[in-house]
Structure formats: C-alpha cells, structure tokens
Chain A
C-alpha cells in the first residue's frame, strides 16, 4: 500500500495532462460510445420561451462581447439564438463591443445564411451588424437615447420603427466578462427584457440577477449551449429527413459534452486519489 501511495504521490503531473487530453479527444473519435442525455435547466428554457413568444418583426438586440478565445462555449449559443430569431422572423441587431469579435460574428451569420433554410435572410432587412463602439463609452451613448442608425452610420429597412433601446423587445448579451451587467444598468432606463449567455467561469456572478428577475434567462457555459441546441431540435416541426439534416448542423456544443463529462470524471478520480493520499499519510504518521 505504501508503495502505491508513494508512486501516486510522485506521479508526474504530465501524466494527468495526458489523461485529460485523451479524455477530451477520444469522445470525438467514438461518439456512439459516449451518448448521453441531460435535462434542460429552467434558465435555458426561459431564454427559449421568451424568444419563441415574441411577435414577428420584433427587434432582438445581440451583444456580441466575446472574441475567438471564448468561441468554444459562446459561439454555439449565439448561433442557436440567431437561428431561433430567424425561425420566428424577428429582426436581429448584432452589436460588437470587442474589435476582434466582429469577423467572428460576421462569419457565423454568413455561414447561417448559407444554409438552405435561412437563405432568404437579408442583411439590412432581417439582420444587421451594427458595428463597434469602444467599451463603456457605448453604454453612455446608448443611455443618451442615441439613434442606432446615426450612431453606427448604418442604413436599412431593419431600422423601421427601431431607434433606441426603447424599441428593443429582447436583448441577449454573450460575454465571458461582466459586460452583461452594463445592460442591466441600461435596463432600468429602457425596460427591455434581457437574457445572457455566459461562460462557466463568469456564470456564478450572474445568479443574483436571475434571482431578482433582472435577467430573464441565462445560458450557462457549454452545457447551457448544448441544452439550447437540444431545445431547438426538440421543437422543430420538420420531417425525419429534415430533422437529420438539422441535427448535423446544430450539434456543436453537444459534441463537446461527452468530453466534458469524461474529463470531469478523471478530475474527480484524481481529487479522490489526492484526498486518499492525504488522509492515509495523516493516519500513517499518527500511528508512527
């Protein structure tokens, strides 16, 4: 036993890195081995229901406050939100408070529009990339009831009846920082409903806002994104063949869930081993 404890104690951490690496990569090669089902959280369901309940032509404002470093978690969320808005014929305004986010957002929407189902969606009619404003200055500009059209210097049919945040029906903020909090401050002034898509790192900071009802819903990390994908797929009224096609296109977050589970199991195992060694040594030292 002592030998085993000694080996485990001196285990090079690079073996742990290797195991985590393998646990993340193997499920991608053998997806059928790691099929899993999980429930939908109340917060994700709320985001879905609110967007589903909006009327045709309502304006949804998307705050794209993340850059490619966070795309693994937030890109699938943003993709599903935009697709759901397109499904419900809502007008989508995408704003970027981060310079390096712009091409990410433009590429995503360009790819969505390439899909047959959304091929009729037009820039300036169904969606628009508002552009960039320096962070924190943007909130001051928005709070002064500045017109979107003149602030961003854009034109299009999409702006018909939409001038400021007063005309926005729902707002989704995707961020890996505290950026959605700024919109909560704007919310007092304009009264729009708001949801957030956040990374697992920043997620716990937003739970108080869910309790107060300032946030109507929240997509939390990769799991939130996967839940949202499943929700959209579950509620699609299409033929089986179409469903298969849709499933192929909308499984980006779900593809990573098996890796997330397996890597967590390995971490649990090592935490258990670490604790076992600690208590074993303490007991062993006491008895000597």
Chain B
C-alpha cells in the first residue's frame, strides 16, 4: 500500500507532473485544429473517461452514501416509521433499471411520472410569478422613468417584441404595414442574434485564454511537448496514416 501511495505522490499528485500533463493535454486537444489525429482522440477519450469516473465516485461519496446508505444503516440500529420513505425512494429509483428491458420498461414510467409531476408542480406557479414580475415591470408609468434612455428602452422593448412576433405571423401575406413591421422584426432579431453571437465568441475566446495562460506560464513544458507533438504529427500524417486522405471540407 505504501508503495502505491509513494507512486501516486510522485506522479499524479506531483506538481510538476500535473503541470506537464495539463500542458500536454491542452496541446493534444489543440492539435485537432491542424487535423483530426490519434493524439486528439486520446485526449478526448481520456477526458471523457476521467470525467465519468470522477463523477461516479463523487456522486457515490456525496449523494448515495450520506443520503441513502448511512440513513439506512442508522435505521437498522434505531428504526423510526419515517425511515420507510428511504426504502420507498430506493425502490422507486431502482425501477430506472427496468429501462434495460424492452418488455418491462413501462415500470420505470411511474418514477418518471412522479418526478415530472413533482417538478411541474413546483415550477409552474413560480414561473408564472416570474412572468408577472417581468410583465409588471413593463407597466410602470412611462414618463416617470428616470432618464430619456430608460424611456427609449421601453419603446424598443415593446415595439421590438411586437414586430419580432409579427415576423412569425403567417396568417396574412407580409405586405403593407404588416410587411414593414415584419421587416423591423427581422432586423431586431438579427441584432439580437448578432449580440448573442458576439458574446459567445467573446466567451469562447475567454475560455481559450485560460488555456493559453497555462501554455504561456509553463513555456519549457510547452516548447518541449509542442516539438514532440509536432514530430509525432509529421510522422503520423507522412508515414502512418492508413485511411484514404480526406480534404479539409470532408474532414469538418
């Protein structure tokens, strides 16, 4: 056991090892930008495997043991009538396994029905409340708003929403006033999509910057591993790749 602990301490838990691994996997994933390759696949599958394994172990430790196993053990020592609910939920949850059977899959539906009903019962009233809050905010006296900007914002929201809805109104041909309103609607929608797309690009770049910082801060590891990965990719694409070569358009 001590030997295993020593090995773990000097590998997985070693700071230098962690940094090199972090840089290595970052570069492996980025290698996809050049072309699909085995290093990328290895990185992708490692990430998936580790995430699933880690998630499973953590959910066992954090959810199953404290919320089910430990209370059942306690119930065994000192039984109280409400402990029966634990058994009920265990049985209800276990019905999910019936999904593996084609003929008995319906058993799991009772559990799903319960969960959906429970969630709907909670969500619907509070969502309606939320809609009222959103709606009532639009009903404040217009000219009592603190600034001209607030007043103009109100107009944009009301007429923007209305014209946006008119774009999806297909019961009449888009001609005349309806046509013009729909035209304004599509412009409003496009501005919205543009803003969302811009924010998405900014967000993605920000995420990449996190990785770029790892590469920049650990330049020795980045340079060494970068050279090794480049050599591997060169050898792979030049000599080892067996599949028929696809051009870029087919690749992506």
A interface residue numbers (CB < 8 A to B): 12-14, 17, 20-21, 24-25, 28-29, 69-73, 99-100, 102, 131-132, 134, 136, 139-140, 143, 153, 184-186, 188-189, 199-204, 208, 211-214, 221-222, 255-256, 259-260, 263-264, 267
Say whether B42 faces chain A, with CB atoms less than 8 Å apart: no
Whole-angstrom distance from the CB of B247 to the nearest CB of chain A?
12
Residues of B within 8 A of A20 (CB): 205, 208
* Count of A-B contacts judged by CB separation below 8 Å: 120
Complexed CA–CA distance, A69 and B134 (Å): 32
Q: Which B residue sits closest to A67, measured CB to CB?
A: B51
Whole-angstrom distance from the CB of A193 to the nearest CB of chain B?
15
- Cβ–Cβ contact A153 & B59, under 8 A: no
Residues of A within 8 A of B206 (CB): 72-73, 199-200, 221-222, 256, 260
- Cβ–Cβ contact A188 & B51, under 8 A: no
The one of A17, A213, A264 in contact with B33, judged by C-beta atoms closer than 8 angstroms, is A17
Q: Mind listing 16 A-B residue pairs with CB under 8 Å?
A: A24-B212, A28-B216, A28-B217, A72-B207, A72-B210, A100-B58, A131-B62, A132-B62, A143-B122, A185-B123, A199-B203, A201-B199, A222-B209, A259-B209, A260-B206, A264-B205
Say whether B66 faces chain A, with CB atoms less than 8 Å apart: yes
Complexed CA–CA distance, A12 and B30 (Å): 17
Complexed CA–CA distance, A203 and B119 (Å): 26
The one of B34, B54, B62, B203 in contact with A14, judged by C-beta atoms closer than 8 angstroms, is B34
Q: Mark B19-54, 1 if CB is under 8 A from A, else 0.
A: 000000000001001100000000000000001001
- Cβ–Cβ contact A140 & B122, under 8 A: yes
The one of B122, B133, B248 in contact with A214, judged by C-beta atoms closer than 8 angstroms, is B133
Complexed CA–CA distance, A40 and B196 (Å): 21
- Cβ–Cβ contact B199 & A188, under 8 A: no
Q: Which B residue sits closest to A18, measured CB to CB?
A: B33
Known: A24-B205, A72-B207, A99-B55. A185 touches B199 (CB 8 A): no
- Cβ–Cβ contact B58 & A256, under 8 A: no
Q: Mark B207-240, 1 if CB is under 8 A from A, else 0.
A: 1111111011101000000000000000000000
Whole-angstrom distance from the CB of A192 to the nearest CB of chain B?
15
Q: Mark B121-156, 1 if CB is under 8 A from A, else 0.
A: 011001101100110010000000000000001000
Complexed CA–CA distance, A17 and B30 (Å): 10
Residues of B within 8 A of A211 (CB): 137, 153
Say whether B84 faces chain A, with CB atoms less than 8 Å apart: no
B interface residue numbers (CB < 8 A to A): 30, 33-34, 51, 54-55, 58-59, 62-63, 66, 118-119, 122-123, 126-127, 129-130, 133-134, 137, 153, 195-196, 199-213, 215-217, 219, 248
- Cβ–Cβ contact A184 & B34, under 8 A: no
Residues of B within 8 A of A203 (CB): 199, 203
- Cβ–Cβ contact A204 & B207, under 8 A: no
Complexed CA–CA distance, A255 and B112 (Å): 47
Residues of A within 8 A of B210 (CB): 71-73, 256
Chain A interface SS verdict (over half)? helix
- Cβ–Cβ contact B213 & A264, under 8 A: no
Most buried by A among B66, B200, B207, B211: B207
Complexed CA–CA distance, A171 and B205 (Å): 28
Q: Which A residue sits closest to B35, measured CB to CB?
A: A14
13 A-B pairs besides A72-B207, A99-B62, A260-B206 with CB distance below 8 A are A14-B33, A28-B213, A28-B217, A69-B207, A72-B208, A189-B126, A199-B206, A208-B134, A213-B137, A222-B209, A259-B209, A260-B205, A263-B205
- For the complex of A and B, the 8 pairs showing the least CB-CB separation, nearest first, are A72-B210, A200-B203, A28-B216, A201-B203, A185-B126, A24-B212, A222-B206, A212-B137
Complexed CA–CA distance, A212 and B58 (Å): 38
Residues of A within 8 A of B204 (CB): 201
Complexed CA–CA distance, A241 and B248 (Å): 55
Q: Which A residue sits closest to B207, measured CB to CB?
A: A72
- Cβ–Cβ contact A139 & B122, under 8 A: yes
Known: A188-B130, A200-B200. A24 touches B137 (CB 8 A): no
- Cβ–Cβ contact A184 & B209, under 8 A: no
- Cβ–Cβ contact B205 & A132, under 8 A: no
- Cβ–Cβ contact A260 & B119, under 8 A: no
Complexed CA–CA distance, A11 and B190 (Å): 28
Complexed CA–CA distance, A219 and B55 (Å): 28
Residues of A within 8 A of B203 (CB): 73, 199-203, 221
Known: A29-B216, A185-B129, A204-B196. A260 touches B209 (CB 8 A): yes
Complexed CA–CA distance, A17 and B213 (Å): 16
- Cβ–Cβ contact A200 & B202, under 8 A: yes
- Cβ–Cβ contact B215 & A25, under 8 A: yes
Known: A99-B55, A134-B63. A24 touches B209 (CB 8 A): yes
- Cβ–Cβ contact A153 & B66, under 8 A: yes
Complexed CA–CA distance, A199 and B206 (Å): 9
- Cβ–Cβ contact B33 & A100, under 8 A: no
